[in-house]
Structures are given as C-alpha cells and as structure tokens.
Structure 1
Amino acid sequence: MHIPVADRPLSVRDLRAVRQRLVSMHAHLDEQMDRATTALDLLRTTADVADPEVQPPLMSALRLLDVAEREASDVIHALTRLADGRYGRCDVCGVQIPVEVLLDRPLARTCGR
C-alpha cells in the first residue's frame, strides 16, 4: 500500500533531522543576537545615538536584533511542538504538513492549502 507523501508521518530519522536543523538555527540566531547586542552596546558607549550619522548603524543593529529574536522565538516554539508531539501538523486544518516541506522549512506551521 502506498501512503501519499502528505499523509506520511515524520519518521524518527525525519524528526532527528528537523530537531538538528532547529537547534542549528537557534545557535545561529543566538550568534546574530550577540553581534547585534555588541554593536548596540558599542554605539551606546562610543557615540552619540542622537547623531544622524549614527542612526543607520543603530537602526540596522536594532532591526537585526528584532528579527533574530522573533525567529528564535519561532524556533523555540517549533522545538516545543516537536517535544510534545504536535510538530508537523497544520495549525489551520490539522493535516500532516508534507515531510519534504518540514525538512526544507522546519518552521512551517501550515500546509499551504
């Protein structure tokens, strides 16, 4: 009997691969947040943050920190769903998200239908 890809549950190997990818993503995001925080601290201690010339690097560091924090939150949420067995199901309709989608985009929360 052939099980359609969209209905195939995640195997132990798939779950391990997704978890590894999520952990790697989280480590990368931690590094981004550290770099942005270091840049912000440096700007705060060495420059007048009200200076118009300081604004572009300041805003860039703030944007990087904001994006990294949001993505890190998404990664933690995915790892939590993975740990409690809810990972891989569409948040909208409840069907299994195709394994290939999850392996490619481990933060996917919907099936796209």
Structure 2
Amino acid sequence: MTAPVQAPATDAAVKAYLRLDDIGDEATLTATVNAVNALMVEWFGAPVSPAVWSETKRQGAVMLAARVFRRRNSPAGVESFGELGPIYVQRNDPDVGQLLGIGAYARPVVG
C-alpha cells in the first residue's frame, strides 16, 4: 500500500511523466497541476480522510496535467505540421478517460 497522498497529481510526478529535468516555467506547471487537482475534487469529491486517491485516479490526473501542460505549446490546437498539412491536438484522450472513468468510460447511472 502506498503512502497517503493529499493531491492526485504533483509537480514532480508530471515532470517525471514528461521526462523533464528543468522546464524553466515552474509557475505554469504548478498552476496546471493545481487546476487539475481542483478539477479532480470537483469531479470526484474530496477523498475521505486519510486523503488517498486510487492509483488509477492519480495516474489519470498526472496524464491529464501533462496533457494540459503540453497544450500550452499549441494554443491554436496545432501539434505539428506534416506532409499533408497541420496535425491537430486530439480532442480527447481515451487513456485519461478510461483511468478517470469519464466520458465514454463513465459508469452508467440511473437518475
């Protein structure tokens, strides 16, 4: 069992996921991680004490924070240019959706 974690994503976890040593923009990374953590609490509620997020939720939060952080380099949605023109950022990430149980991977509910 892992030690209790207060936030699902951390700056260090996102940097490790993206394999970044020195990004030069720590403030943007911290703001991104804080926004994703706030979104996680909004979506799933604050975990009960002790604050332990499941491994899938933590990995999903790290992947989402990494995606949002990388998105700063493509504000118009263009990831790169190829032979056939621009390559756009994918609208959604099925891996993140599956780990977080959102979108098409949300559990059905009866209203």
Instruction: Tell me the TM-score normalised to structure 1 length.
Output: 0.32
TM-score, length-scaled by structure 2? 0.32
Q: Larger strand proportion, structure 1 or 2?
A: 2
More helix by share: 1
Larger RCO (CA within 8 A; separation ≥ 6)? 1
